[in-house]
Structure 1
Amino acid sequence: MNLFQYARTGLVSVLLIFSLSSQSSAAADVKPDHPERYVVVSGDTLWDIAGKFLQQPWLWPEVWHVNPQIGNPHLIYPGDILVLTYLDGKPILRLERGHPTIKLSPQVRVSANRNAIQAIPIDAIQQFLTESRIVSSSELEEAPYVLQVVEERVLAGANDRLYIRGVEGDAIDRYSVFRANEIYRDPDSGEELGQEALFVGDGKLERFGDPATLLLTRTRREAMMGDRLLPTGEDELLQDFVPHAPATAVEGAILSVIDGVSHIGQYQVVVIDLGADVNMEAGHVLAIDRSGKKVMDKVTSDPRDTVQLPDELAGYLMVFRVFDRLSYGLVMDATRAIRLQDVVRTP
């Protein structure tokens, strides 16, 4: 089974491996009411468990003892016991699973194992791992396109055939069909940062030429004239990551929320204007600040007396897929309503 098939099962599990790198200088503060021992239950995620022990869940790697002599990965399963102890005054977390206790460093990997816990709720992001894409508008404009449905209908579904123009050569026969959607722009300059390619379906070329013929093998929505084709990718998946803060200070904004709602809550997917250009990576945790409004001071008599209210912490998100200048993030915690244009920053 390849990575694409794994991701489509939605089975992203927590893989624990021994870290070979030096520990960060950040100190992990445990919660005053943290448990001494915790028994993992079905439905737990790594983020949930980290939040039971730590004030700042993204500092989870700091509670694991570095042991370069052991390299075999281990998964966390329901029924496992996590024990918090101290070494040289620093908290460490150990795993007990009915055999000698081992100290671990967690990562997340796409896995076919159905029992191990997930790092984050995979159901909330599954389609964004294997289907959604953000590309440049020029990339879509230059891509092969649907000329018409072979059966001369307006719309086409699974097992229908499409006439395609713009296919060059015969090296690629697997394509995904997309529809040009929202263009994301820099809030200040208006510069284009990328365009959402809305997933329509997958297909296989049955005949090359101009026009070529594509058989739709799977669809999420009906295909139509003008839809664009991009090669089906199997490497654009979240594989391994550890929840952690960016190494440098970054600041951006929420540009869009998937589903188009005006208020954003826990486990909703958002688009932020930070990408690979500022070294964002899957697993980065960012704080979300609700932007302070400018209000009039109604106590004074001067109508020109306005006050800029400060930004207020509204929650945290975890980046799970990175593009050139944009990223997808999953809101992990929301302590108050989150809105478009709210600030995201290094916590």
Structure 2
Amino acid sequence: MLVSVLLAAPANAWERLRNDAPERYTVQAGDTLWDIAARFLHAPWQWPEVWRENPQIENPHLIYPGDVLTLRDCQGMPCIQLERSKQVVKLSPEVRTLPHREAIEPLPREAVEAFLRKHRIVDSTEVLNELAYVVAGDDTRLISGAGDVIYVRLTDQARNKSAMVRGEPMGIYRQGEPYVGGDGDVLGLELISVGEAVLLRRDDDIARLEVRRAEQEVRNDDIVLPLESFLLDDPFTPRAPRNDVSGVILAVPGGVRFIGRLQVVAIDLGTQDGLQPGHVLRVDQQGERVNDPRTQEVLQLPAEEAGALMVFKPYDHVSYALVMEASRVLAVGDRVRTSR
């Protein structure tokens, strides 16, 4: 029956599907939304075009292990629908606790969680100068570590009491390399995590903090900021941006030049360019330069698609993205653009 439906449907609509796409798939623990989309589609970022929400299910964007996805025909177009799994509980006089079900992640949690602890971006030097900073260690030490007390000065812009709450961890950061665009303009400044501290006391513009964790020594002039949330509050799905964008891979945080799957990269596009978490961009590599065998002139071969990346943390002019596919070794300077 499914074969007859496929033959009757418009060819271009069904060409999105893989030849080996399953008619039914049961979601497994450890799956990501990208993994599931790739089981059905040649281009996983086209998932929203074939996903059909079920109005009877609360928040259908959340998919859980045990849920069943079925491939169907919806008025001549391919669609994937969700059959929510139901936990059957045998009633008995004793109280039973059901295990908490975690919705699957859009992309591998472990690939971004550790990264987001260690890296973040501020837009400019002006913004950097408005942030709280370390002025001294206890007993006027120049270098501090875990268990030590440090003193932090709050600038006029940072003196919002809600930004520093007693007992809540604060991030300690040191300025890394600036991200510079092709025109030489600074797009953002990378901050690298040094450790974490908690507020003990605050007197006007001076705060006393205890260092709870330190990957490096804490120095004077290090930046102190509230920690960023590691995961997005709202679920997002892999999808192409609505507008055409084009940019480059600026850097691989950590100094690596050559890039493979599940590595984080920084690109020179951000929210000002319309990027949002979940947006997928195609990676193109410049073609080789060859000599024409007849004229001996140097020819530039066309660019070739080499991979795909998903944005997970966009800032104004720079975004962090995770490489989801790489048919070749990617490199700093490779072009990124809207996937179609």
Counterpart of 1:242, as a letter, is: T
Q: CA deviation at 1:60?
A: 0.9
Q: Distance in 2 between matches of 1:232 and 1:39?
A: 36
Describe the superposition over 1:127-154 as per-residue Cα deviations: whole angstroms up to 9, x where unpaired.
3445532112222234232222214444
- What residue is the counterpart of 1:165 in the other structure? 153
- What residue is the counterpart of 2:126 in the other structure? 138
- What residue is the counterpart of 1:314 in the other structure? 306
- What residue is the counterpart of 1:107 in the other structure? none
Larger deviation, residues 42-51 vs 209-218: 209-218
Counterpart of 1:198, as a letter, is: I
Q: CA RMSD, aligned part only?
A: 2.7
Distance of aligned partners of 1:185 and 1:236 in 2 relative to their CA distance in 1, 3 Å threshold: farther
Q: CA deviation at 1:69?
A: 5.9
In the alignment, structure 1 segments of 5+ residues that lack a partner are: 1-25, 100-111
Out of 242, 256, 263, which is 1:261 matched to? Answer: 256
- What residue is the counterpart of 1:278 in the other structure? 273
In the alignment, structure 2 segments of 5+ residues that lack a partner are: 1-11, 87-98
Counterpart of 1:250, as a letter, is: V
- What residue is the counterpart of 1:63 in the other structure? 50
- What residue is the counterpart of 2:337 in the other structure? 345
Q: How does 1:54-133 map to 2 (within 5 A)?
A: 54-68=41-55, 70-73=57-60, 75-98=62-85, 115-129=102-116, 132-133=119-120
Counterpart of 2:37, as a letter, is: A
- What residue is the counterpart of 2:95 in the other structure? none
Q: Is the 2:251–2:265 contact (alpha carbons within 8 Å) kept by the matching residues of 1?
A: yes
Please give the secondary structure, in 1, of the residue aligned with 2:282.
Answer: strand
Q: Distance in 2 between matches of 1:311 and 1:144?
A: 45
Larger deviation, residues 156-165 vs 334-343: 156-165
TM-score normalised over the length of structure 1:
0.79
Distance of aligned partners of 1:197 and 1:113 in 2 relative to their CA distance in 1, 3 Å threshold: farther
Figure out how many residues of one structure are paired with residues of the other and give that number. 306
Counterpart of 2:257, as a letter, is: S
1:38 pairs with 2:38: no
Distance of aligned partners of 1:235 and 1:124 in 2 relative to their CA distance in 1, 3 Å threshold: closer
1:201 pairs with 2:195: yes
Please give the secondary structure, in 2, of the residue aligned with 1:127.
Answer: helix
1:230 pairs with 2:225: yes
Q: How does 1:8-27 map to 2 (within 5 A)?
A: 27=13
Q: Distance in 2 between matches of 1:130 and 1:242?
A: 23
Give the percent of matched residue pairs that are identical in Structure 1 and Structure 2: 43
Larger deviation, residues 171-180 vs 202-211: 202-211
Counterpart of 2:178, as a letter, is: I
Counterpart of 2:193, as a letter, is: F
Counterpart of 1:264, as a letter, is: I
Distance of aligned partners of 1:113 and 1:273 in 2 relative to their CA distance in 1, 3 Å threshold: farther
TM-score normalised over the length of structure 2:
0.80
1:334 pairs with 2:306: no
- What residue is the counterpart of 2:137 in the other structure? 149
